[in-house]
Each structure stands twice: as structure tokens, then as C-alpha cells.
Amino acid sequence: MSIEIGGLFGLILLIVDIWAIIKTVNSGASTGTKVLWVILILILPLLGLILWFLFGPSRSTAS
């Protein structure tokens, strides 16, 4: 049972990380900022996601 829960948590984390990366790329932030956030989310999936939610770039789309 614990393997199934861990696998489900991992899948949910992957989906939310991909969503955060897409939101970051579509934000109005500078290219350098986008790259740093994407790298942080990829290297530290859970911690990077938490930091992104707290301090990440604007979620508005670029015009």
C-alpha cells in the first residue's frame, strides 16, 4: 500500500511541477529569471515548487 501512495504522490508532484514550469515560461518575467526558476523546480522538485508558490514570478501571461 505504501508503494502505491508513494507512486501516486510522485505522479501528482510531477504533474504540478510541469504545470509550474509552464506557468513560469508563460510569465512576464525576464528570460534569466524564467531559466533560474525552471532549473530550481527541476533540481529540487518539492522544495522548488514550494518556493515557486511563495516567491515565483508573476503568473500573468506576456502580452
Other C-beta atoms closer than 10 Å to the C-beta of 26 total 14
- Distance in angstroms (rounded) separating the CA atoms of residues 7 and 3: 6
Other C-beta atoms closer than 10 Å to the C-beta of 31 total 8
pLDDT tens-digit profile of 15-52? 999 999 999 999 999 999 999 999 999 999 999 999 99
Please enumerate in sequence order all residues whose Cβ is within 8 A of that of 60, keeping only pairs 6 or more positions apart, or say none.
Answer: 27, 28
Q: Is pTM beyond 0.85 here? A: no
Please enumerate in sequence order all residues whose Cβ is within 8 A of that of 11, keeping only pairs 6 or more positions apart, or say none.
Answer: none
